[in-house]
Amino acid sequence: MVLLAFATAAAAAPLTTRPPLILHSLSLDVLGGGKVTRDPDVPDYPAGNPVQLTAVPDSGWIFAGWSGGATGTTNPLRVTMDADRVIGATFTAVVWTITASAGSGGRISPGGLVPVSYGADQTFTITPLSGYHVVAVRVDGIAVGPVTSYTFLHVTADHTITAGFAVTTHTMTVKVVGVGSVTRSPNLAAYAEGSIVSLKATPGVGWLFDRWSGDTSGTANPVAVTMSVDRTVTASFRTDWTITASAGSGGTISPNGPVVVAPGGTQAFVITPDPGYQVADVEVDGASAGAVTGYTFTGVSTDHTIAARFSGTDYALTVGVVGHGRVTRDPELARYPEGSTVTLTAFPDPGSTFAAWGGDAAGNPNPLTVTMDAAKSVSAGFDVTDILASTAATFPSYAGGLPPAWGDDDNDGDPDLPLVRNDGHGVFSEMPGFRTLLANGNYHGGAWCDFDRDGNLDLALQPYGSGTRARLLKNQGDGTFVDMAPTLGMDIAGYGATAVWGDFDGDGWVDLFTPYYSYTKPNRSYLWHNNGNGTFTDVGVESGVELSNLPAGLNPEGACAGDFDDDGDLDLYCAGHLLRNDGTGHFADVRAAMGLPLVSDGAARWVDYDDDGDLDLSLRTAAGPQLFRNDGNQFNVGGQLGGRGQRRGPGPLPVAVQPAGAALPEPGERDIRPGPDVRPRRQLGADGLGGRRRRRGHGPARGGGGPTPAAEHAGEPAGVRGQLAQGHGAGFGG
């Protein structure tokens, strides 16, 4: 850089000229961890002036050298500013080496030369081979004990670590009680870990080997002992055996107490009840021998016990129910004294009537007085009150079982059934070719849905038995169907239950949930992701809905989908599991957290029965139908449908009977109907996508799906017409 200075001469002074001042710039580039200082530290330097540069590395770094307008590693560096300069300083990280080695009998990981960055930590794992143990670990030559892991912290220097191992051995100590001896094979002072030692007990003259105790037990002779630790074993010898006899209140056993019996001897016992008592049971060595009055031990070769129990003369009363109702008894006792009386009162559930008594009682007096002069079994029969009138409609016979799933497969405005086409006016006919597709199989659950958006309802059928496979019947639109399940790998054999359609991952395509009994093949359930191209992929395991390893009592009979937490995605209830959807099609069981009991349910249904805007849960349990109220972050018992007591079916429910031609409820109304489809109408998604943010639940109940007339879907695009109904159980056939 050149600076020119000018001055104007005064009238009385001569003109003078100053030499130009030349300045040079100095730029510094730093690569790595460090900095460069300069002295002097000014923006520019007069030509020829010196500058001292000093490279200062950060902690864990070293100065590697200069580049650009300077070379070498001299530090500090003196630079003469005879031109503009750009000088670079390079720093490199410090790397230390830990040398790891292990002796025979084990390994250290990582091993060899292990590079470690400055200040970093490094952990080593020491693992002995089977039959060996760590005997010593040394770090930089100093013993740190027989550790199996060691960590160098904040490494700032090179180190060494070595591991030594030794064979693991154990000792065997043998003790004797009584007269006898024990030999061992092999007979060693110490035994390698995992080796087997055979011990043989030899009794002295007039003595018998009794048993082993300590680190082995039982009477096997010889006995094999595995040397996994130091062992101490005692051999006991004896001269005779003892039978310990005892009796409860209400009778005696003779002889009583400890009874000594010679080896191989015989001993008889007599059991005598007191007046007014009877022998309830005799237990020999903890196992029942029945209500006997005598018992004899023969060939005695070990100790025994015999215990007699007695009871007063009383009788059990068993009460059963056929149909839907309950029976009370007064008094309520487990057993009744001879000659006492019991009053039985039958209470029918709503929708049922008491018919008659059966078993050890007859007729229909209610209440009924029973005299307990013997053990008795009485049943109460209940009939269903007639609330529906039968029609003259007939259906084709079918050897297996078919679920009553209704759906308008031919788009004529009338709901049809699997195998059976509704021709209108109460007339039904068989679908051509459909019987061949069914192959006389037995089917448990069915659901219609236009999964490929071609405007025609397709049908999913669940098998019930190892001889039947699942079907996915694609509607060809010309009155015929093609089974896509074998091609798509969906033809699962087993005991299937309710099939549920729904867009569980929010991609706009309807997916399919197919539950199966988990205690028999295929031992799990499936979630079939709709790929949008006519194919499906099983994502049950990764989605968390495979429901495997469940006990037999938790069958997936009542699967249903609904947005119970109102977050815009479909959740699932199935087999006692409340599966919350995280919005991506992945589920977690929140049943316990939401306060629901773990019960076996034969049917499940989402229904906003209290009209508070969120979905409540109706379950058919062994205790009868029950309602669980959704209170936002917890389910609470909301009610019980159809009374209490033992029952074999869903039971009668409050009904809303509609005459022929009557209008169906408007969306938003909540009616509970008899039969298969007990659900709020607003839950049925018209698009088969589960009604995301529009209609919040769907799913079948036991007995099959109720019809949803095609008129409800009028004006919808044919490509998004969804699930009309789902069915569960054998609806007709045979």
Q: What is the pLDDT of residue 341?
A: 94
In this prediction, residues 12-20 reach a mean pLDDT of 64
The pLDDT-based confidence of 400 (bands split at 50, 70, 90) is: confident
Token digits of residue 195: 């080796």
Task: Pick the range with the lowest mean pLDDT from 50-59, 255-264, 659-668.
Answer: 659-668
What would the DSSP string read from start to end of 65-119?
EEEES--S--SSEEEEESS-EEEEEEEEE-EEEEEEEE-TTEEEES-EEEEEETT
Q: What is the pLDDT of residue 213?
A: 96
Contacts for 662 with CB less than 8 Å, ≥ 6 apart: none
- C-alpha 599/C-alpha 186 separation (Å) is 57
- C-alpha 678/C-alpha 671 separation (Å) is 8
Q: What is the pLDDT of residue 637?
A: 87
CB contact at 8 A, 56 and 91: no
CB contact at 8 A, 188 and 246: no
Q: What is the pLDDT of residues 74-126, one digit of tens each?
A: 999 999 999 999 999 999 988 999 999 999 999 999 999 999 988 899 999 99
CB contact at 8 A, 618 and 678: yes
Q: What is the pLDDT of residue 103?
A: 93
The pLDDT-based confidence of 610 (bands split at 50, 70, 90) is: confident
Task: Pick the range with the lowest mean pLDDT from 269-278, 431-440, 623-632, 716-725.
Answer: 716-725
Q: What is the pLDDT of residues 660-706, one digit of tens each?
A: 222 233 333 333 333 333 333 333 332 344 433 333 333 333 233 33
Q: What is the pLDDT of residue 670?
A: 35
Contacts for 625 with CB less than 8 Å, ≥ 6 apart: 618, 619, 640, 641, 642, 650, 651, 653
At residue 350, does pLDDT exceed 60?
A: yes
Q: What is the pLDDT of residue 594?
A: 95
Q: What is the DSSP letter of 666?
A: P
Q: What is the pLDDT of residue 676?
A: 33
In this prediction, residues 499-517 reach a mean pLDDT of 95
Bridge partners (DSSP) of residue 424 are 427
Q: What is the pLDDT of residue 732?
A: 39
Beta strand ranges found along 470-542 (DSSP E)? 471-475, 481-483, 493-495, 500-502, 511-514, 526-530, 536-538
Q: What percent of the chain has pLDDT over 90?
A: 67
The pLDDT-based confidence of 389 (bands split at 50, 70, 90) is: low
Mean pLDDT for all residues in the chain? 84
Greater confidence (426 vs 694) lies with 426
At residue 338, does pLDDT exceed 50?
A: yes
In this prediction, residues 475-482 reach a mean pLDDT of 95
Task: Pick the range with the lowest mean pLDDT from 48-57, 203-212, 680-689, 721-730.
Answer: 680-689
SS3 485: helix
Contacts for 308 with CB less than 8 Å, ≥ 6 apart: 246, 247, 248, 251, 252, 253, 271, 279, 281, 282
SS3 487: helix
CB atoms within 10 A of CB 718: 12
CB contact at 8 A, 572 and 546: no
Q: What is the pLDDT of residue 7?
A: 42
Q: What is the pLDDT of residues 529-585, one digit of tens each?
A: 999 999 999 999 999 999 998 888 888 888 999 999 999 999 999 999 999 999 999
Greater confidence (249 vs 682) lies with 249
Q: What is the pLDDT of residue 621?
A: 85
At residue 617, does pLDDT exceed 80?
A: yes
Q: What percent of the chain has pLDDT over 70?
A: 84
CB contact at 8 A, 452 and 436: no
The total number of residues written for the chain in this structure: 734
